[in-house]
Structure 1
Amino acid sequence: MKTFPLQEHLPQTSRLVLGCMGLGGGWNHDPIGEAEIAHAQAAVEAALDIGIRLFDHADIYTHGKAEQCLGELLRRQPSLRDQLQIQTKCGIRFGDAEGPKRYDLSAAHIQASVEASLRRLNTEYLDLLLLHRPDPLIEPDEVAEALQRLRASGKLRHWGASNMHAGQMSRLSRAMGEPPRVNQLEMSLLKLDWLDAGTCFNDPQGRNGLAWGETLEFCQNQAVQLQAWGAMARGWLSGAAPEGASAAVVRTAERVRTVALRHGVPPEAVVLAWLMRHPAGIQPVIGTTQPARIRACAQAEQLTLTRGEWYGLYETARGVELP
């Protein structure tokens, strides 16, 4: 099995990550009950069954209930903590009396958010904390001080970023004295900006080329783990595409099924294997919490697409041939 950047810092981590945004019921303030806990239990068991060890949260997911569900499982079975690694995120605040929806990477908010996440998760430490969105008012030295304080107290092992470009990560890296361990970005067969930036550089087909190109290069050069949120392409390519889907989406779903049949694997494995074929060692975040779909991803790590298959999927998803 090929190594990937995060293994240097979390040797027992998994190539696939379970995204836990779907835990906890709806995005409301209703309390969690046994149904939500059972749903979480089934998702965690399915993930562990296929070798997933890293679980992705955020303080805002279902208003904290996603973390709360995993925390309840850990309360009922404390030994479970040794079987998994937890990353969560902070920095997004919903509108309240103090202002509208906003990003807050102040030291006070980082500290308060981590403390609240630890309580909800029923754990004494986080394996990873990701800064969820870039805050225009960020003070890198202040962020570094907050993160270093959390590490010194044993509450945090590693830090990372989410939705940040190379320049933003560079500023934080200087303040921290090290690069982030992770940068989580939207990347999939339906979200191709990151790839087109390089393949279509110096061509009108390129989109957001400079920022994306520099970001991928920064992550690869600094051994920052690229994590792909939205990796399952909303399920459109491995299940039913929505009514009115574009011709490119329909054709890509058909090609995914063709490749899946050729290799004798579920379509989900093909969608993920396409991302994992990239030499950056991308770590897909599986957004579903349905056990059957989680298990359908199991063969992605063993599937290596040929160059022809990989480019065929890429071109079909783009809807136009490369320059």
Structure 2
Amino acid sequence: MKTAVYYNNNDIRIEERPKPEIKSGEILVKVKASGICGTDLMEWYRIKKAPRVLGHEMTGEIVGSKSDKFKVGQRVFVSHHVPCNECKYCISGNHTACETLHKGNYDPGGFSEFVRIPEINVNSGTYLLPDNISYEEGTMIEPLACVVRAQRIIDVRAGQTVLVMGSGISGLLNIAMAKLKNARVIATDINNYRLRKAGEFGADEVFNASEELDLKADRIIMCTGAMSAFEAAFRYIDKKGVIMLFAIPNKNLSIPVEDFWRNELSIVSSYGAAPVDLEEALALIKDKKINVRDMITDRVRLEDIQKGFKIAGEARESLKVIVVPE
């Protein structure tokens, strides 16, 4: 089978590998669509484990099953990271801190023609796609689930002013989710195309990030790794406010600790999604509460994945890039 092997952002090679063989409790999925995530583009982060097959926002059709739960022909979304549901983190509801979740994955990755799904992922991370969710829309379940979790952590609610810094795909999902909760949403970016899209997906006000804003936000969600944005966030956060590190810079931050102390500010992070978040995201897409279909702007074949990485990395007039093997 064909796989797209990542060496660095500018070196992704189409290589042949044997089709995975499944064992008891496992399923084999023919990949129908797989999204390019913003974290896939974080070369400083990804290159540590290169060469490898990336792709964790994957949907497909089951073509082989040795599981009692699923059968050949079913359409599924599969989560790459799943918790053990037994450790102290899982028991306390902090599933994304689970070591099993951080270590697990499917074989080899969504940027391939076929994927073997280990038994733990079959049992805790495989979801049937409803008929009204396309394979492409299904790739947005995991990104939206990450947003669901992040906004739960910082308790986004009606009446708050929420500043979303960075209006790429993660920013747009956060905008749409915060609006669903009836918050006042302000969005920033340096890209005028993305600012227009931020307005289309629900932002009450949009500003170019080069402007100095006259505002204080109850919640700030960082959807950009630009250091200048983090410096600005410290100026825009209101007393008792919370800054969510949804995206991170490639170096450490210098935090104005006196402001944080005197104004009782908080800075928190969110990594990944738990099964409860994935289930909520799937329901939001199924019930058309969040419009993910119109966020998908580009599609490339597996053989053209290097072009897909270029489009996603340049971030000009694109939002979500989907790799479609067929």
TM-score surpassing 0.5?
A: no
Q: TM-score range by the shorter chain?
A: under 0.3
**Which of the pair is proportionally richer in helix?**
1
Of Structure 1 and Structure 2, which has the larger fraction of its residues in strand?
2
TM-score (norm 2): 0.25
Query: What TM-score comes out, normalization by structure 1 length?
Result: 0.26
